[in-house]
Amino acid sequence: MQLGSFQPTDPKCERCGQPVVHNFVFQDKAFWHYSCLREGHDQRFKAEHIARSLNLALFVHESQQPA
């Protein structure tokens, strides 16, 4: 087998479980539809925003950078 010639049989998206045919990303040793990966990043960003607004003490270290 040559480097770069590996083609998995029936790769599936880690998020939705549907087969990936086009417009996909290979990240963290897994296949993702680009839209599924983007949706996951957006959900994480929103969750972090809500957590910061509910408990600012969790993220104090981020705002106290040394000068």
Residue found under tokens 């040394």: 66
Give the domain range for residue 40. 24-63
Per-residue pLDDT tens for 38-49?
999 999 999 988
Domain count across the chain: 1
11 located within any domain = no
8 located within any domain = no
33 located within any domain = yes
Residue found under tokens 């939705």: 16
Per-residue pLDDT tens for 15-31?
999 999 888 899 888 99
Please state the pTM of the whole predicted model: 0.60
Contact 32, 24 (CB under 8 A): yes
Judged by DSSP in three states, 44 sits in helix
